[in-house]
Amino acid sequence: MIEQAYGSIGDTEVFQDLADSRARLLNSITLKDALGFAYWANGVDEVNYKQPQHHTLSCYVSGGYKVKRVMGAEVAGGSAPEKLCLMPSDHEYIWKINDDIRLLHFYFSDKHLGELGEKVWDKSLNHLSLDDKTFLEDPYLATIFLQMVNVLNWQDRADQISLQSSSQMLMVHLLKNHCSRSFQQPRITGGLTHYQVRRVREYILEHLGADLSLASLAEQTGLSEYHFARMFKETTGLTPHQFVTQERVNKSKELIGGGESLASIALQVGFSSQSHFSTRFRQVMNVSPAQFRKSVFT
């Protein structure tokens, strides 16, 4: 089978099928080449995915108790919040929905799995197939999905490092646990050198106001994104996203004393809005930027 080329997740069949249904799109983001996430709400409906040429991992965030999958003469039930469905490409999926639901979709392809396999395991992932799973219980996957909905701002470039890392964690876990071939979790031994950490920090400070990506940070160390993220946390105690946020907040503290508007400072240190800047600043400092300015500089 020749894999279809997509430009964004909006080009994928499952996304289009939902867009043509009664479902309502709440949020979406394309990370690269139709690798991305979409957050949907739906009610009473019937949705049919006809042999999509990409994979979909779905997590019920709320509702789902009255959702059933029709498979010929069989009908599968048992959904609930935090249950997942793994829908490999080239299958047919018929869903009957009879209650209000919210679900998060992760769209990816064999191309993305192949790229990950070469970087993480240094081997080809040809001739593998993902398992077709309906109403799966997997707390690890569910935790990642719920964090994405409840904690991250998809539209803010400051949070996209975490979204990129989450996509890799999801795919690695699927290959390890829900695949026709068993791939062992890559062993991460040791951390980064002092030079590597310093180089990453220098790069972050030079590009605070830009769209920092996990790939660009990993490039400073010569490691794959997956290995970099884990070795970075092993060394610093922080995820790359947490570290970047900390550096952005530290720089903003310097700028706050200069009298510039908080909206201007937010953009200079890499936040897309003053609101998101204030949220992250409070998480790190336990006070808002305005309160910090008042307490320190007046």
Give the global pTM.
0.86
25-44 burial, b for 16+ CB within 10 Å, e for fewer?
A: eeebbbbebbbbbbbbbbee
**230 contacts 190 by C-beta, under 8 angstroms:** no
Cα–Cα distance for residue pair 258/119, rounded to 1 Å:
44
Torsion of CA 138, 80, 10, 175, to 10 degrees: 10
Residue among 135, 119, 154 nearest 9 (CA): 154
In the chain the first and final C-alpha atoms are separated, in Å, by 67
Q: What per-residue confidence (pLDDT) applies to 181?
A: 77
What's the pLDDT tens digit per position in 137-170?
Answer: 999 999 999 999 998 989 887 888 999 999 999 9
What's the pLDDT tens digit per position in 63-114?
Answer: 999 999 999 888 999 999 999 999 999 999 999 999 999 999 999 999 999 8
Cα–Cα distance for residue pair 19/4, rounded to 1 Å:
19
Please state, in angstroms and as integers, the Cα–Cα distance from residue 251 to each residue in 157, 159, 208, 286, following that order: 17, 17, 9, 16
Residue among 27, 229, 223, 9 nearest 109 (CA): 9
What's the pLDDT tens digit per position in 183-221?
Answer: 776 666 678 999 999 999 999 999 999 889 999 999 999
Cα–Cα distance for residue pair 216/129, rounded to 1 Å:
30
Helix (H) or strand (E) run with residue 251 in it: helix 240-256
Query: Does the 243-297 domain belong in CATH 1.10.10.60?
Result: yes
Cα–Cα distance for residue pair 29/164, rounded to 1 Å:
11
Q: Is the pLDDT of residue 255 over 60?
A: yes
Please state, in angstroms and as integers, the Cα–Cα distance from residue 61 to each residue in 102, 120, 233, following that order: 5, 30, 28
- Please give the average per-residue pLDDT across 250-266, as a whole number: 91
Residue among 32, 26, 25, 27 nearest 8 (CA): 32
Q: What mean pLDDT value characterizes the chain?
A: 91
Q: Which two tokens stand for residue 138?
A: 């997997």
93-107 burial, b for 16+ CB within 10 Å, e for fewer?
A: bebebeeebbbbbbb
CATH, domain range 9-177: 2.60.120.10
Handedness of CA 15, 104, 171, 240 (dihedral sign): positive
Q: Where are the beta strands (DSSP E) in 109-243?
A: 133-137
Cα–Cα distance for residue pair 288/198, rounded to 1 Å:
29
Q: Is the pLDDT of residue 123 over 90?
A: no
Question: DSSP characters for 33-47?
Answer: TTEEEEEEEE-SEEE
